[in-house]
Amino acid sequence: MKVVFNNYPDLRKVIIWKDGKYQLIEDSGLSTQGIAGITENNNFVGIFVNSKKAFFVFENQVYSLSTTEFECNNTYINKDERCFILKNKGVEICKIIYKPFVDSGMIFYEVDLEEFDILLFLSDNFLNSTESLELFISSK
């Protein structure tokens, strides 16, 4: 299976994912099926749509998501670490404990450091409710 993703946070590039491997290229106008990125722990994660169904990718694994039976949480577990957990039909399909990356060069600018966090972006924008996931599916 080959999937073309928008790359987060650098949307000027796309990610081509095929057979568990990915390649980052300049956006050449390819039609995308989802959005993905690389976590601070160097994990490949993303969501995409195929045949009006949502899928979650973690490394080389693909999981079908039920729009009504998924649960996603991404919270701080201590002052330095976050925990991203995704469950589908009550089964945990992904759990990543990570330290959000803070580029020391960004501290001098007034930027939202969380805007570079792919896991937080996915959990806050697409995996936070049935409605948000259904809207994502209909947009693709």
pLDDT of the residue at 115: 56
The amino acid sitting at 110 is E
Could you tell me if 57 and 4 are in contact, meaning their C-beta atoms sit under 8 angstroms apart?
Answer: no
- For the cut 70, the answer to whether the pLDDT of residue 92 exceeds it is yes
Compute the distance between CA of residue 33 and CA of residue 47 in angstroms, rounded to an integer: 8
Could you tell me if 44 and 59 are in contact, meaning their C-beta atoms sit under 8 angstroms apart?
Answer: yes
Band (pLDDT 50/70/90 cuts) for residue 113 is very low
User: What does pTM read for this prediction?
Assistant: 0.88
- Burial (CB < 10 A; 0-12, 13-18, 19+), residue 83, is middle
Strand ranges, E, within the chain: 2-7, 13-18, 21-26, 34-38, 44-50, 53-58, 61-65, 70-76, 82-88, 91-98
Query: Per-residue pLDDT averaged across 104-119, rounded?
Result: 58
First to last CA, the chain: 17
pLDDT of the residue at 101: 66
Query: Per-residue pLDDT averaged across 62-72, rounded?
Result: 97
Residue 116: CB partners within 8 Å, gap ≥ 6?
A: 9, 101, 103
pLDDT of the residue at 80: 87
The amino acid sitting at 119 is L
Residue ranges of domains in the chain: 2-139
Give the gyration radius of the chain's Cα atoms.
Answer: 15
